[in-house]
Chains A and B, each alone.
Chain A
Amino acid sequence: MSQIIQSARFSCALGAQQSILGIPRVVPIIHAGPGCSARQFQFLGGGAAYQGEGYCGGGQIPSTNSSQSEVVFGGEKKLATLIDSTLDIMDGDLYVVLAGCTAGIVGDDVAQVASDHSTKDKKVIGVDTAGFRGNNYKGHNLVVEGIIEQFVGDVDDEPEVEKGLVNVFSVIPYQNVNWRGDLEEIKRILEGIGLKVNILFGYGSRGASEWKKIPNAELNIVLSPWVGLGAAKLAQRKYETPYLHEPVLPVGLKATSAFLRRVGKELSLDSDRVNAFIKKEEDRYKKYFVSIGDLFSDLAAYLPYDAYVSGDDIYGLGSISFLENELGINVVKFYDTSDPGKLSQKIVNEALENIKEGLSEKTVFEADGAIIKNKIKDEIKERHNKALILGSSWEKGIAAETDSILIYQNNPVVDTVVVNRTYVGYNGGLRLIEDIYSGLFNKGVITNTTHGEDDKI
């Protein structure tokens, strides 16, 4: 892979620095050139709908700012000094060293240096996330697996399995712009059916201590086609924890209820409890849905029934399923921007076919936002239908040009502020409905007396 790229939809493996920042009170230590960390933050912080530096991100991130001498003589000594001083200055529960290109090429052993400089109270681990090893989807996987290997570690004998405890491996902090709200919703619905949830990232996570409990889970849930799958397999090898692979993120009523039932079945949960929660959620959801029925009915001629999805497969699959199965919107094209390897592409294609036959043929694996943008523009103009685009700020111009409704799901997002928005679960489905149909009024109010030429593209 690694094609030439004009418009970036992801960063490099070092972007996993933002995944570390997604775990409360875990401090990244960057062993890389002087600008590497700031680059990640610009794209995955400010460029991700103005998610700021938070507790210890942005300009506060410790970094060796490696220079000529570290490249010539190796940078392990400088890293060692930085780790020691970081433990004195930055207040955290776990410290994760990430190696960038300079350290990666020179061959500094960051895991070893990290291990040598851990103290009794403060654990330091190290992961090689050199930028040339791949994008930040891969970097995220490396870091999650690295923390399990080096911090969660081996357990003596069999781990004590806690009944009803699950780990969730799902959306990527910052890369998936709604990740905070999404993880809150995923945790909420799983708790709703009686589970205890190690959500691992976001404000609902207890941070490092929660990661320590990973071996105690009864089940690992992977809510993503391929990101996080390696971690679940690793946990299966290390702790014999079974995993449930859900490649399609649950969005909306149908998918979420079905997902919860599968989880309930997998863990043999009390079906009355599961069903009671589902019923309560569905009742509420249906009332909201019906309340917007007037708009659907009155303005049926104005609604979008064509969709173009330009984003990663974590969000893409879930949104596509929701559009197709609940909103009756047909996906014309899915541009998968996450640059998955061949095996992962196979998982994505299979999941698409399970959503609806023929969807895999409408899917293109394309990582260059510039190419995607131009193709979508041509397709919309050719089909001449009102369109919905699930994409990024790169699509803003063509959405305006074709009078399409644009929903932001993936980076970069530079003209919207996201705080706790979610497009996942019951609440996320409703929020997505809210945002899609609000988009009808981008150019002003529609009334039943304005049927001008202008309304058609």
Chain B
Amino acid sequence: MTQLNTEVEVRDRRLKSILSFSGKASELQEFSRQLKAPDKARTFTQCGDCAQMCAATICYHVRGAAVVVHAPMGCFATTPSTQEAINNSAKSRKVKPFNTQLICSNISEKETIYGGLKKLREAIDEAQNRFHPTAIFIQSSCAAGIVGDDIESVADEKQEELGIPIVPVYCEGFKSKIWSSGFDAGYHGILKRIVKKPEKKQEDLVNIFNFLGTDTFTPILKKIGLRPNYLVPLADVDTISRMTEAACSTHICETLGTYITDVLEKEYGVPKVHAPAPYGIKWTDAWYRELAKITGKSDIVENVIKSEHERIQPELEKLREELKGIKVYIYAGDSYAHNMGSIMADLGVEIVGITTLHHDMRTDGETIDHSTLQEMINVAGDIDKFTVCNKQPYEIIKVLKDTNPDVIIARHMNMTILAGKLGIPSLLEGEINISAGYDGILIMGRRIRDIVKAKGLLSTLKEYNQFPYTQKWLEDERLYI
């Protein structure tokens, strides 16, 4: 076990993350360099997401593990789609599906007065009896956090009693304005209670920190004789515990993956691939080279890169022709928006603007010169209309009307509807792995080409819709207040 603190510091303080900015991408990069970006708090805010939701993307999908959500029902109420996500993902990863094992302690008024630890113990026992899990995650919540439930001591006690890792995850929504802090909270719990020192090393194994995406990294890594260790969703507790055996670690998005890859590098000596994730040609080239350097494959990697470039060239050229004149707006991330920017540059489409949902001014274990924002500017050029905004449709409606894109690339549910009501088709980037590597560029190109077909349907939606914003606001020159 490592000497990590009980909780990881939230991004607001650790990475100096911000939620508002409007200007050029290069200006934001300059502000980040000085750690002095002007983050003007909004007086009007629409609802966001919370850390607990991001932590769920880590904890809910561990094969064989159970999750106790120590919260009132609203923090837990999920639908069978959670299970379907696992089924679909397992199919596209070519692994066996498994059942989700989630329960809620269902905190009520009584627990907010007398404390919720009794109920938490009961819920852990119930999880044990129902599922016989190989580990149990405990997700904290606003209610549990404010009441001051000592989850850590219950976890210690139950871990002793049940003989399996009991993993507290401190993902209370109110603790961080940056919902991505929930990723770190989930990983932190895993690092503290599940991950072990390596007994042996597996020289061809590469940790890939990702979501529930398709198995696209097997062919990508195979080209230089490596294989992926997909983490954390769909992996079992044993696999997770042995992530330190891998030759190195990488991820599909810095916002998701840099906290854990940094800890693995510093605490366990598992090198991190110091290159942006493999999205877009130049980023993928750099990623391959860095990966090859760590794993001793430098002798073969240049040939791979060359032949891959040649392989995708004919279709890429065709796509560039087909996509000529298409204007794209990117509304995602932090870093995933930069990934998309990198791909758009290869496809030759015009990026009329980018909104990232927050911005980390620092990156765990990466210098400012190699932030994904800088790396994106390097390949896609400066972006004149760059904003940082945690969803806020009242603000983005103005940005979209101003930039008038043909297609939106969005990462979050409930946001594509804004574009839809303006008659603009969206690509909802729920599945991230398919856009990775050289083939990912082609796939993205085809998807953009095809999504334009939604225009007819959405133009009707636009015609029938009425927005709730006052005329006074829509005519106000300010982006937000």
Binding site for B on A (CB under 8 A): 1-6, 8, 10-15, 27, 30, 32-43, 46-47, 52-53, 55-56, 58-68, 70-71, 81-82, 84-86, 88-92, 100-102, 104-106, 130-136, 370, 393-394, 396, 411-412, 414
Which chain B residues border A82 with CB–CB below 8 Å?
Answer: 43-45
B49 CB → nearest A CB, Å: 5
Q: Is B64 an interface residue (CB 8 A)?
A: no
Stretch of B140-148, B160-168, B255-263 with 4 or more beta carbons under 8 angstroms from chain A: B140-148
Which chain B residues border A37 with CB–CB below 8 Å?
Answer: 47
Q: Kindly list the 4 A-B residue pairs having the minimum CB-CB distance in the complex, ordered from nearest.
A: A35-B50, A12-B74, A131-B72, A33-B173
Chain B 462-477 interface residues, beta-carbon cutoff 8 Å to A: 466, 468-470, 472-473
Which chain A residues border B74 with CB–CB below 8 Å?
Answer: 11-15, 36, 39-40, 100, 131, 136
- Inter-chain contact A88/B473, CB cutoff 8 Å: yes
- Inter-chain contact B77/A71, CB cutoff 8 Å: no
Whole-angstrom CA separation of A33 from B173 in the bound complex? 6
A61 CB → nearest B CB, Å: 5
- Inter-chain contact A4/B103, CB cutoff 8 Å: yes
Residue of B at shortest CB range from A40? B74
**Known: A67-B177, A414-B80. Is A6-B130 also a contact (CB below 8 A)?**
yes
**Known: A36-B173, A67-B177, A101-B143. Is A59-B46 also a contact (CB below 8 A)?**
yes
Which chain A residues border B338 with CB–CB below 8 Å?
Answer: none
B180 CB → nearest A CB, Å: 12
B88 CB → nearest A CB, Å: 13
Which chain B residues border A414 with CB–CB below 8 Å?
Answer: 79-81, 84
- Inter-chain contact A33/B50, CB cutoff 8 Å: yes
Stretch of B107-115, B195-203, B208-216, B360-368 with 4 or more beta carbons under 8 angstroms from chain A: B107-115
Stretch of B183-191, B276-284, B401-409, B413-421 with 4 or more beta carbons under 8 angstroms from chain A: B413-421
- Inter-chain contact B78/A4, CB cutoff 8 Å: no
Whole-angstrom CA separation of A88 from B43 in the bound complex? 11
Number of A-B contacts (CB under 8 A): 225
- Inter-chain contact B417/A10, CB cutoff 8 Å: no
Residue of B at shortest CB range from A1? B108
Whole-angstrom CA separation of A2 from B130 in the bound complex? 18
**Known: A90-B468, A393-B80, A414-B79. Is A4-B126 also a contact (CB below 8 A)?**
yes
- Inter-chain contact A65/B414, CB cutoff 8 Å: no
Whole-angstrom CA separation of A46 from B49 in the bound complex? 16
Which chain A residues border B43 with CB–CB below 8 Å?
Answer: 81-82, 84-85
Partner of A65, one of B106, B108, B177: B177
A123 CB → nearest B CB, Å: 16
- Inter-chain contact A59/B415, CB cutoff 8 Å: yes
- Inter-chain contact B143/A131, CB cutoff 8 Å: yes
**Known: A5-B76, A33-B173. Is A86-B44 also a contact (CB below 8 A)?**
yes
Chain B 28-73 interface residues, beta-carbon cutoff 8 Å to A: 43-53, 71-73
- Inter-chain contact B73/A12, CB cutoff 8 Å: yes
Which chain B residues border A101 with CB–CB below 8 Å?
Answer: 72, 112, 141-143, 146
Q: Is B7 an interface residue (CB 8 A)?
A: no
**Known: A4-B105, A46-B413. Is A60-B394 also a contact (CB below 8 A)?**
yes
Whole-angstrom CA separation of A35 from B417 in the bound complex? 18
Which chain B residues border A34 with CB–CB below 8 Å?
Answer: 47-50, 173-174, 177, 179
B46 CB → nearest A CB, Å: 6
- Inter-chain contact A35/B173, CB cutoff 8 Å: yes
Residue of A at shortest CB range from B71? A131
Which chain B residues border A15 with CB–CB below 8 Å?
Answer: 74, 77
Which chain B residues border A40 with CB–CB below 8 Å?
Answer: 74
5 pairs, A vs B, C-beta closer than 8 Å: A4-B105, A4-B122, A55-B466, A89-B473, A134-B108
Which chain B residues border A85 with CB–CB below 8 Å?
Answer: 43-44, 481
Q: Contact size class for B?
A: 35 or more
- Inter-chain contact B470/A131, CB cutoff 8 Å: no
Whole-angstrom CA separation of A35 from B180 in the bound complex? 12
Q: Is B345 an interface residue (CB 8 A)?
A: no
Which chain A residues border B390 with CB–CB below 8 Å?
Answer: 65
Q: Is B298 an interface residue (CB 8 A)?
A: no
- Inter-chain contact B130/A65, CB cutoff 8 Å: no
Binding site for A on B (CB under 8 A): 43-53, 71-81, 84, 102-112, 119, 122-123, 126, 130, 141-143, 146-147, 172-177, 179, 390-391, 393-394, 413-415, 417-418, 466, 468-470, 472-473, 481
Whole-angstrom CA separation of A281 from B31 in the bound complex? 71
Which chain B residues border A4 with CB–CB below 8 Å?
Answer: 103-106, 119, 122-123, 126
Which chain B residues border A370 with CB–CB below 8 Å?
Answer: 130
- Inter-chain contact B75/A39, CB cutoff 8 Å: yes
**Known: A8-B104, A12-B74. Is A61-B174 also a contact (CB below 8 A)?**
no
Which chain B residues border A63 with CB–CB below 8 Å?
Answer: 45-48
Whole-angstrom CA separation of A4 from B27 in the bound complex? 50
- Inter-chain contact A59/B414, CB cutoff 8 Å: yes
- Inter-chain contact A60/B50, CB cutoff 8 Å: no
- Inter-chain contact A105/B72, CB cutoff 8 Å: no
Which chain A residues border B104 with CB–CB below 8 Å?
Answer: 4-6, 8
Which chain B residues border A396 with CB–CB below 8 Å?
Answer: 80
**Known: A35-B48, A35-B53, A38-B48. Is A2-B76 also a contact (CB below 8 A)?**
no
- Inter-chain contact A88/B472, CB cutoff 8 Å: yes
**Known: A12-B73, A35-B52, A101-B142. Is A43-B147 also a contact (CB below 8 A)?**
no
Residue of B at shortest CB range from A413? B79
In the complex, which of the residues B48, B103, B109, B174 has the most CB atoms of chain A within 10 Å of its own CB atom?
B174
In the complex, which of the residues B79, B81, B179 has the most CB atoms of chain A within 10 Å of its own CB atom?
B79
- Inter-chain contact A65/B47, CB cutoff 8 Å: yes
A32 CB → nearest B CB, Å: 8
Whole-angstrom CA separation of A397 from B74 in the bound complex? 24
Whole-angstrom CA separation of A88 from B108 in the bound complex? 36
Which chain A residues border B53 with CB–CB below 8 Å?
Answer: 35, 38-39
**Known: A38-B414, A105-B143. Is A68-B174 also a contact (CB below 8 A)?**
yes
In the complex, which of the residues A85, A134, A411 has the most CB atoms of chain B within 10 Å of its own CB atom?
A85
- Inter-chain contact A70/B174, CB cutoff 8 Å: yes
* 4 more CB-based (< 8 A) A-B contacts, given A39-B53, A135-B73: A52-B417, A68-B174, A104-B112, A414-B80
**Known: A5-B73, A132-B107. Is A30-B47 also a contact (CB below 8 A)?**
yes
Whole-angstrom CA separation of A32 from B142 in the bound complex? 9
